[in-house]
Amino acid sequence: MKKLLLILSCALSTFAVAQNQGSTQKGKILVEANTTVGRFGENKKNAAGQTVDSQGNVTTNPIYDRTYTNADTSINFASNGDQTQYNLGAEVGYFVIDDLAIKVGFGVGQTLVKVTKENQAYTNEGGELEIGDTDHLPYVFSYKLAAKYYILGQFPLEAGFTGITTRDEDDKNVNRAWLGFQLGYAWFITPNVALEPAIRFNTNLSLGNENDKLEEENISTSDRSNLQGVLGFSFFF
């Protein structure tokens, strides 16, 4: 049984490599459509796990005091209670040499909040919204600049910068940036299409700068760095 599994594994690996012949050559164009699993746009938390406002004070405001633990250039949709989040994004790259592509990515997302008796005081600015209405939070724009190298043509290793720009509860600009590293596996379904599962690690570059009013000690460890699961399709032209 073990021999059979080993033979199958080798055969599948050989098939994937064979399918990749020429896909990552210099001059090729890479287009990616991904989805991610990870924390994005949640309420701000301190080290004790309490929800805090932009000054680090404990608050009961469940809506507008947000933290952003990574940018999102993927396609996502999530719903939890009275909040619904969606994001649309894509990435494109160019192979400057064999197996090495320089990539850029863009995404836009938003959180929609259904007005309830519990959150009406926070969502009902100007008295225009009634219980049952939907409040639209500011758009979050994400971007990425990265280099992606296909080890042996089959194991994509990526390093790059990501960031977001949006507005906070006081209608002030919010900018965040992260440095990320990603390692995955490219399963070439055809020479021009690959399914790529991956794991990504992000570390926050914005803590302590003028864009982040929270003191660093008031931000939980998970906000300083985090892991994401990534699954998507890559197209080679």
Three-state helix/strand/coil letters over the chain: CHHHHHHHHHHHHHHHHHHCCCCCCCCCEEEEEEEEECCCCEECECCCCCEECCCCCECCCCCCCEECCCCCCCCEEEEECCEEEEEEEEEEEEEEECCEEEEEEEEEEEEEEECCCCCHHHHCHHHCCCCCCEEECCCEEEEEEEEEEEECCCEEEEEEEEEEEEECCCCCEEEEEEEEEEEECCEEEECCEEEEEEEEEEEECCCCCCCCCCCHHHCCHHHHEEEEEEEEEEEEC
For every one of its 237 residues, what pLDDT tens digit does the chain have, with 9 covering 90 and above? Answer: 555 445 444 444 554 444 556 889 999 999 999 998 755 445 556 666 665 555 566 655 544 445 566 788 999 888 877 778 899 999 999 999 999 999 999 999 988 888 777 666 666 555 577 777 887 888 999 999 999 999 999 999 999 999 999 887 677 888 889 999 999 999 999 999 999 999 999 988 875 554 454 444 444 444 567 888 999 999 999
**What is the pTM assigned to this prediction?**
0.75
Domains defined for the chain, CATH in brackets: 2-236 (2.40.160.20)
